[in-house]
Structures are given as structure tokens and as C-alpha cells.
Structure 1
Amino acid sequence: MSGYYGPSFNHKSSRPPSLAASRANSSYRAARSAPVTPRNGSITTPRNASIAATIAGTTAAQTAANTAANTGPTTPALLSRVNSKLENEANGKEETPSMNSEILRNEKGELMIGRIAGGKHLTDDVEDIDLGCGEIKRVDCDMPLTLTEMVNHEGKEYIVLSFATGDKENPFNWNPWYKRSITTLLNLMTLFIGLATTAYSSGINRMCEEFGVATIYGQLGLFTFNIACAIAPMVLAPFCELVGRKIVYASAFLCFSLIFIGLALAQNISTIIGLRLLLGLFGCVGTILVGGTFDDMYEPHKRGRPMAMFAFVAIFGTVAAPIYAGFIDQSLGWRWVEGIQGLANIPLLILIFVAFPETRGGAKLHKRAKQLQKATGDDRYVAEDDIYTPDVKSMLKASSVKAIRMLVTEPVVFAFGLWIAFCWAVVFLFLSVIPITFEEKRGWSEGVSGLPYISLAVGTFLGWAAHHLQMRKYNQLQEDPNVRIVPEHRLYGAMFGAVWLPIGLFIYSFTQYGYLSWVGPVIGLAPIAFGIFFVFESTYSYTADCYGETSSSAIAGQGLMRNTLGAVTPLFASAFFHNVGSQYAGLILAMFGTVLSLIPFVMFKYGHLLRARSKLAKEY
């Protein structure tokens, strides 16, 4: 699909519990027993909240790239900050104020943190949870045990809430099977959006004949869909973070599904082009948040597999749609290509409305804060996201201006952006090339000529399966105490897999002749898809590891380049292969692919030098 892989602009996720929490409690108890002298007589201390992570990307492999590398178990947000503060004080280190916030202290110099609970949740079991945060404050409402800290933010006092250890409402603590079911729903939604991207191409010829227009006007439907996926996320991504995940998924997928009614009943090509633009708009909104949703639920070292599956489904859906769409168009007509897709969305749409939960921990804490405000009459209760969310202007700048600037000024971002854009262009070129090879040259029917796409689907599956070898290699490196993990360790899979893209293009180019067996070009399609999967995976993993907190902007720039090239490619694909000649056009692509396949090898050797010269790259 021409989906969006970053940035998600998700707020800092609520931290999963770990053994570090108990260490934080121990440190806090020790600190409370010792006198603490406030600096300069002040009863406030700069708050060390790492809120820069609010603009953290997620993309098909971006979240995977932020996994186990350099990331261990984490504590609940409050205890982590307390532990960090006490360690800094013990070592005589000064902290830097973050976002004009300070943790307040009482007259004894003690950090003003606590616990709060009420109603049916006041049981004996909660007394022993996070003891280091003080006595439990009881409130007259059903309130799960929640941690609090008193802060001064921009001159105003707030009581900031965070999850306690083991809180069942914390998405990190959900049952693994429940997380997998949510992941499955997201992947199904991604699959259906991907299928809609390219199934449309199977009906273009008949549709244009019915409307009496040139085929190029039908190709504009592919252009408008992809250009919406290229531009819209850079504007919409920040706004999607202002509300919870569920409302965005449900409303966007509802609009996405309803548009198929208009496509199936359209009476002119202008309506088709406009509706395809809207289809891309609402389709990309859903996929903007997938990476962020995985961030909400999975600890960093557990995100690799769901993100790899997401990348597989996104590519698989894009290349698999013509397998069935050609038969539908041939037997029922192009309108039913759209109609059947709309009908197929209904069961999933119902599941999203009924079964999909809110996954953003910040949204759940916001709900608790509102409940506490009502029960206590104290409007100081807030969730962390309520006061530390960047303003829309800042997020828009990161998702657009900064993204474009990084694309044109950072060699790593541009090189991998060019590589992945070329791969996406190949995908959409082959929507025109495969019909030329099998319909025009071999006289296959429209439906049968869609069957070679099975080879692309198989190649994508094999790429996903082989990716586990890259993950195994990376995990082995992590476990080796003598190895210092660097971003270049993400490139082993790319160096192995990416060379298959030009190999497949060479095979396809020189087996297109009509007098040769159809087996040759069909075989050539599989390594093309195999290589494309590894390009996608390595691009986002390596970019995310290189740029850390600024990787969301880098990946947004790459996504703009990828989807823009994917948008314009269908407009000249047929003319390119007809005028240049199928074999020579394929040869040109293969040569470009060969040159670009050198990128991971060059980066593996010289990437550390490029990172050292960059002001934005993360230090290792």
C-alpha cells in the first residue's frame, strides 16, 4: 500500500513495569531517611521528563529499529524520574530544566510524589505496590491505584498522574494474546487498504472505455491516491495525536469504506479521480498510527516481530490485489472491483468499532484525571500528555519542514529515501508492465494475466520469513558483551536481500520475449519482491537507529519521496515500456537497482563517518 510509516507523533508511552521499579523504590526510601537540602533555599527541583520522545516515528520498521538495541527494561514513568533524580543528586550532578517544569518538594526537601486510589480498588493488595511513593490518598470514586507527582509547569501547579506497577489498564500489561488480537486487526486494516491501492488498476481499461476517455485519465486515480498518501500524513499526523487512537481508526476506516459506494456508482471520471484522492486520504490516516499503536503496547525489545509483520502485510496487500481483481473485472465489471472491496470491509469495520480498544496510555490517564477532578474538585489533576504535548505548530514543523530539510541535507536520509522510492516506483511500474508481458505479448485473458502477481506475493512472504535470520543475527550481536551495537548492524539483511531486486529485474527483462516460456518472467518477479521487503525493513530500521528522536522527521521525508515517486510512476509506465521497449526499459531499471543495491555496503563501511559529521545523528 502507499501507506505511511512515520512519523506517528505518539506521546511518550507509559512505561511497563520491571525490576528497576523496585530499585527506584529502594533508592527513594533511602533518600527519604536522609536529610535533603533544597538548592538555594528553593522547594522546587528541575523536572527531568524526557518529553522529546513525543515526536517518535513508527513505521513499518522504524519502531523495530528502536527495539532491543541500547534499550533495556524500563520503569513506570514516575519511578524512573525519581530514581534518575536521586542518582543525579547523589553524584552531585545538576539537572537541566525540561519544558519549564519542576518537581515540587515539601518543606523537608522531599519530592512531592504519592499514590491515590478509591472505591472498589482500595484493597489490601494495593498497599504493597510502589511503597516508595508514600501513603495512599483515598478518594470517593472508583480509582485504580495511580501514582502522582506534584510539578510546577510554566508557573502553575499540577498533579501529574502515571500508571502504577502492574496496572491492568496500562497497555503494556495487557495479556499477550489480547495484544496479538489487536495487532491482527491492525494488520487486516492495513491489508485492505493495500488491496484498495492497486485493485483499482485492474479495472482502468474498461472504466475508461465506459466513460469514453483516454487510459491516462484512469491512471490519475492511482496518482491521486498515492499523492494523498505522500502529502496528507505530513499535515494530519500531528492532529491525529490530539485524540485517542480508536476514534481515528474507527472514523477513518468508516469513511474509507463508504467511499467504495461512490466509486462503484460513479458516472464520470472526475468523480473517480476525486474519490480516489479521498480514499488515499482516509486510508493513510489509519496507517499513520500503526507504529505508534505498537509503541503503546509492546516493550521496545518485543516490537520487532509485529512491525515486521506489518511491513509484510503492507507490501503483500499492494502486490496481491491484481490476483483477484482481474477476474472480477473480466466477469462482473470494474464497478464490482470497488463494490466487493467495500463489502469486504464491513466485517472488519464492525470489529474495529466493537472490539478495538483505546491503546494510548495517556488517554486512559487523561480519563482518570477528569474523574479525579470531578470527585475532588481539584483541577490540578492531569495526565502527563495534557501539559507536555508539543503544540500543533511544533509538530507540523517536525512532520513537514524539518522532514524535507533532513531529506535534502542528510546523506543517509536521502540515500535510503532514494532507494526505497525506487522500489516503490518498481511496484507501480509493474502494474503496467505485467499486463504488457502477459496480455499483449502472450494473449492471456485479463484474469489469467493477474496470476503472475502470485510470484510477487510469494517473494514478499519469503522476504518476511528470511527477515527472521536478520533478527536472529542482531539478537546474537546484542547478547555478545564484546560487541558495541551500532546502526550498521541493521544492514546485514539489506546486504543479503537487496541484491535480489536487480537480479529479479535482469531475469524479468530478458525473459519477456513472447516466444519464450512464461515461466521466466514469473520466476523473475519473486526475487524482485524479496529484495523490496529487505529494502523497506533496512531503510526504516537504519534511519531510526541513526537519528533517534529526530528519526520521525527523517522517515517522514523518506515517505514523502517514496509516495511521490509512486504517485507519478503510473502516469508514464506504459509509455516508457512501449517506447523504449520492454527489454531495454527493464534493463535500465535493473542497472539503477544494481547501483542502488550498493548503498547498504557503502553505509556499512562508511556510515559511522557520515553519522559523525551530522549534527542530528545519534551518538553511539
Structure 2
Amino acid sequence: MPILKKTGIRSTFFPDGSTQQQVEGAEHEQREDVSTSDGKNDDNNIVLIAFEENDPENPLNWSKGRKWLTTTLLNSMTLIIGLSTSAYSPTTDAIAEDLGVSSEAAIVGMFTFNAACSVGPLFLAPFCEMVGRRYVYLFGFFAFTAVFPMLAAGTNIGTMIVGRLLSGLFGCIGTILVGGTLADIWVDDERSVPMSQFTFVAIFSTIAAPTYCGYIVERVGYRWVEWVHMIASGTLFLIELVLFKETRGATILAQRAKKLRKETGDNRFRAPIELESESVKMLLHKSCTRAIMLLFREPVILFFGLWIALAWGLVFLFLTVIPLTYAGNHGWSTGNAGLPYIALMIGCVLGYISGYWSDYKYNQATKANGGRGVPEARLYGAMFFAPFFPIGLYIFAFTQFSFVHWIAPTIALVPMIFGIYHIFLATYNYTSDSYGEYSSSGIAGQGLLRNMLGAVTPLFGSQMFHGMGYQFAGLFVALLATLLAPIPYVLFFKGKTIRAKSKFASATTGLADEQHDTVANAELGNTVQEEKTAGN
């Protein structure tokens, strides 16, 4: 039998797939089962490793301080990316004038950013399965930061449009991966507060940038909008580079297995993910086809996708409409026309606070159900608060007259974003609870709809409100919001029946039997457990 080196790596070994032995120090020369009788390692006799109980390297066992540090780093990244998303909107008129193009051409940069965000997750997310989250985050955020000089110093509209496309492609990491990363480090009953904070930051950052970017454009020019955000993004990247650690347990185990092989000379040590590894082509194929398949085959995912798409589309529509209406009706300057966004920020804060009531109702329903989660209980917030979305739109529409004081439409923005906030919470939480291992694919499909509509609406916002008139254009979008308002009520009363008929409904809800799970896995070509939640 060969003499193998000692290692101090703590691991749990499963040499025969049935016996679990706790090993510390791993003194392999004393173990008969790590080598074959002829003195050679048998690579067919795999030794799987797993985390020990209370293993400090398991992200779920990290200290509260480390978990909150990681959560803060993730939210900070989302904040910077979200601010940069909408910071471009106040600069479009200045870009058009400086580069000698139409305002419509300048607005295309808004389209390319969101369009890239809609398809980017389908291509970037699978790489987490190959290299882990840390490298994807750091590479994506570094590339996102590196694009700012291209936008700040661009001398033609093509450069600006391509720069925004690249920003959206790399910046989508701030939404698509964060949910899954929080699931890596927080157990289910601790995750609601970190997830609520992430949702708040994602929405708040998108609507906050116009409040100050208009003044930057007026005082020092539109190019400094990009330089300011580059400085903030670059500083944060250096902090992330030092403090952000790998959170994906499967990747940590793969790294541990690699160290064991190197230190012991035994090539049979493997992490489970190494046995499940797939080619890049297969990962990309699964990522794209699963999301689209669920989007069009599952009514719950489709209608929630349409609802959140309308909400997000209107957020970006109003990035164009708010300065337009306040400048047109009240003669406000570029800088002052960004101040009404403060009302949106207030509505977002109120949404975050009221979200704790939604969590309370969900916890009550879970206790009443013997500790098993009830997906429909995630809809209380949407049923009570989402109707404020169309209500705010109606008020905004019918206060669009120059003789009406500016405070009236500004107040209307508060209930509008308040309702949108609860649409986001309901969509992501209900989809995650109902579809379990398939939820990340379902949310990716909804994200495709959401970001594509968010990409399109700024292209026609100005023409729509000028052509139809401020009042009737506002009425039109309010009617669309009203049309989709019954969704949470229908699912609250009929959701259990709908889920029971779904092949892909999560087995954790107690409605999908083994046969359904087998069929669903076969149809999706998915034999690997996905993370329960995903970014957005």
C-alpha cells in the first residue's frame, strides 16, 4: 500500500456511499480503503467529501458578523449598479445636444442597458456552477467599473450605446445572483430580513439617481455623472476584492477536494459538484431553455411575470415622464425636475417597512400549518397594498394640468411605487415558495419579461405622453395596471388548485408527488438541485 501524505483539512468522507465517518487530520496511511490491493489508487472508487457538522467553512455556519458583512457588500454592489442604471436618464438631452443626435437616439442607451440585463442572466448565471460566485461577482463588477471611462469620454453615440450595453451585461450580477447568494449563507427562517433589504436596495437605487444627477448635469456637465459613479464603483470593487468570500458551499467543497488531492496524493477525493459537472454548452442550454419553458408553460409564472413587467416598465417610463411633465407643466429646470423622485424614495421606504407586516402574516400562516410554509400567505402584502399602484397612476394622470399645484402629482408618486414594491415582494416570494428547485429558472423567465419591457418603455414615453396628452396617457397605463390587479386575489383563493395541477410545483408545498417530480426533471433535463432563490 502506498504511503500517502497527512493533511489537516477537515472533511467528512463517504468511501463506499453508505458509511459516514468523521475524520480529523485524515491520517490516510492507516486506512485500508483508500487504496486498492495492488498498491495503486483506484480512481473508480470515489471518496466524496462533505461539510462536517458545525463546520466553520460552511457558509450557513458563518458568524452573524460575517453573514451581515457579506449581505452589506452585496447590497452595496446592487446600490451602485442600480444608481448607474437610471443615472443615464437625466443626461440624455445633454448627450443629444453635445453629440448632435436626436433625443430618441440618446435614449437608446436606456434600451441597451435593460435589454442586456434581460438576457445576461441566462448566460452569466451558469458560470456560478463552474467557478463559484466570488469570481463571477468580481469579474462582473470589475468589467462594469471598467466601462465607465467609455461612457464618460465617448465622442459619438455609437460608443455611448455600446457602453450602456456592456454596463447592462456586466451589471446584471447585481440582481440575478444576490438572491441565491443570500440563500447560501442564511437559513430559511433568517432570510426574510436580508431579502427584504436587498429588494429595497434594488428598487430604491433605481429611482434615486435622478434626484442628484440632474444637478451634476447642470453644474459640471453630463460626463461627470459617469466619472462620479466610476469613482464610487471602483472604490467598492477594491473593498469587495479584499472582503468578499466565496459563499457557494458546493464550490468550497470542490476547493477542499482539490487541496486534499494535492496534499495526500490520492486522486479519488471528490466533491459532489465534481461528479455532476457539465459542459459550458449544456449549462447554457439548460439555463436558457428552462427559463423560457417555465415562463410559457406555467400560468403562475407567466401572469406574475406580466404583472412585474408592467410595474418595472412603468418605473422606467416615468424616468422619462417625470422630468417631461414637471418641465412642461411647471417649467422646472433639469435639476429641479429630479426632485419629485424623492416621493418615489419615500414610497419605497414605506414599502420596506410594511413588508415586515407581510412577513408577520406569512409566519402566522406557517405556524398554523404545522410549520410548513403556505405560498399563498406570501400574497397578503400584494392584496392589501398592490392596489395603490393603479390608484397612484389615476391620481397622477388627472393632476397633469399646469393650474394644479405640483405637490398633487408628486404625492401620487408615493402610492404608485408603494404598490410596485409589494408586487416585487409577492412575485419573488410566491414563485420561490411554489416552485422550489425550479424557482430560479422561473424568476429568470420573469426577469426576461421585466427587463425587456423596462428597456422598451423609455423609447416611446415622450411620444406617448405628447401624442395622447399627459392625462390620457396616464389614464391608459392606469387601466393596464387595473387589469392585472386581480392576480394576487385569484392566486390566494385558487393558487393551491393551480399548483396541484403543475408538474413543476415544488414538492416542499406538499402538492407535487414523486411522479410529477420525475417527469418535471426529465422534461427540463435537470438532475441537479438548483438554489432555491436567485437576483433578479
TM-score under structure 2 length normalisation: 0.87
Structure 2 residue 3 is the aligned partner of structure 1 residue 115: no
1:91-170 maps to which residues of 2 (within 5 A)? Answer: 104=16, 111-118=18-25, 137-138=26-27, 156-170=44-58
Question: Structure 1 residues 454, 192: CA separation in 2 closer, same or farther (over 3 Å shift)?
Answer: same
**Residue deviations 1:144-164 (CA, integer Å, cap 9, x gap):** xxxx9x9xxxx9321111111
Structure 2 residue 486 is the aligned partner of structure 1 residue 603: no
In structure 2, give the amino acid aligned to 1:138: E
- The Cα of 1:515 is off from its aligned counterpart by 0.8
CA distance in 1, matches of 2:373, 2:54: 31
CA distance in 1, matches of 2:172, 2:22: 40
CA distance in 2, matches of 1:170, 1:240: 17
- Tell me, yes or no, if the aligned pair for 2:11 and 2:49 is still in contact at 8 Å: no
- Tell me, yes or no, if the aligned pair for 1:220 and 1:571 is still in contact at 8 Å: yes
- Tell me, yes or no, if the aligned pair for 1:293 and 1:359 is still in contact at 8 Å: yes
CA distance in 1, matches of 2:111, 2:278: 33
**Residue deviations 1:40-68 (CA, integer Å, cap 9, x gap):** xxxxxxxxxxxxxxxxxxxxxxxxxxxxx
**Residue deviations 1:549-579 (CA, integer Å, cap 9, x gap):** 2222211111101111111111111101110
| SS of aligned partner of 1:550 | helix
CA distance in 2, matches of 1:538, 1:377: 51
**Residue deviations 1:401-434 (CA, integer Å, cap 9, x gap):** 1211221221111110000000011101101110
CA distance in 1, matches of 2:388, 2:48: 52
- Tell me, yes or no, if the aligned pair for 1:248 and 1:286 is still in contact at 8 Å: no
Corresponding residue of 1:466: 354
Corresponding residue of 2:448: 560
CA distance in 2, matches of 1:446, 1:176: 44
Corresponding residue of 1:571: 459
**Residue deviations 1:565-598 (CA, integer Å, cap 9, x gap):** 1111111111011101111011111111112111
- The Cα of 1:367 is off from its aligned counterpart by 2.3
In structure 2, give the amino acid aligned to 1:477: A
Corresponding residue of 1:245: 133
Q: Please, which of 157, 164, 180 is the counterpart of residue 269 of structure 1?
A: 157
CA distance in 1, matches of 2:283, 2:416: 36
- The Cα of 1:112 is off from its aligned counterpart by 3.3
- Tell me, yes or no, if the aligned pair for 2:110 and 2:455 is still in contact at 8 Å: yes
- The Cα of 1:506 is off from its aligned counterpart by 0.8
Corresponding residue of 2:344: 456
Corresponding residue of 1:492: 380
> Percent identical across equivalent pairs?
48
Corresponding residue of 1:329: 217
CA distance in 1, matches of 2:106, 2:378: 40
Corresponding residue of 2:83: 195
| SS of aligned partner of 1:573 | helix
Once the two structures are overlaid, the 10-residue window that deviates more, 209-218 or 240-249, is 240-249
- Tell me, yes or no, if the aligned pair for 2:365 and 2:374 is still in contact at 8 Å: no
Question: Structure 1 residues 114, 420: CA separation in 2 closer, same or farther (over 3 Å shift)?
Answer: same
**Residue deviations 1:502-548 (CA, integer Å, cap 9, x gap):** 01101111111111101101100011111111001101111122222
Structure 1: segments with no counterpart, 5+ residues: 1-75, 83-102, 106-110, 119-136, 141-147
Q: Please, which of 231, 241, 250 is the counterpart of residue 362 of structure 1?
A: 250
Structure 2: segments with no counterpart, 5+ residues: 1-9, 37-42, 512-536
Question: Structure 1 residues 611, 430: CA separation in 2 closer, same or farther (over 3 Å shift)?
Answer: same
CA distance in 2, matches of 1:465, 1:314: 15
Corresponding residue of 1:516: 404
**Residue deviations 1:89-129 (CA, integer Å, cap 9, x gap):** xxxxxxxxxxxxxx837xxxxx33323332xxxxxxxxxxx
| SS of aligned partner of 2:130 | coil
- Tell me, yes or no, if the aligned pair for 2:393 and 2:412 is still in contact at 8 Å: yes
**Residue deviations 1:239-258 (CA, integer Å, cap 9, x gap):** 23211222221121111112
Aligned residues: 488
Structure 2 residue 291 is the aligned partner of structure 1 residue 406: no
- Tell me, yes or no, if the aligned pair for 1:398 and 1:553 is still in contact at 8 Å: no
CA distance in 2, matches of 1:490, 1:217: 42
In structure 2, give the amino acid aligned to 1:514: S
The root-mean-square deviation of aligned C-alpha atoms, in Å, is 2.1
In structure 1, give the amino acid aligned to 2:431: T
Question: Structure 1 residues 355, 373: CA separation in 2 closer, same or farther (over 3 Å shift)?
Answer: same
| SS of aligned partner of 1:359 | coil
TM-score under structure 1 length normalisation: 0.76
Structure 2 residue 199 is the aligned partner of structure 1 residue 292: no
In structure 1, give the amino acid aligned to 2:330: R
| SS of aligned partner of 2:24 | strand
Corresponding residue of 2:475: 587
CA distance in 2, matches of 1:336, 1:516: 35
CA distance in 2, matches of 1:368, 1:502: 53
- The Cα of 1:327 is off from its aligned counterpart by 0.5
Structure 2 residue 392 is the aligned partner of structure 1 residue 507: no
- The Cα of 1:310 is off from its aligned counterpart by 0.5
1:175-214 maps to which residues of 2 (within 5 A)? Answer: 175-214=63-102
Structure 2 residue 424 is the aligned partner of structure 1 residue 536: yes
In structure 2, give the amino acid aligned to 1:449: A
CA distance in 2, matches of 1:176, 1:395: 33
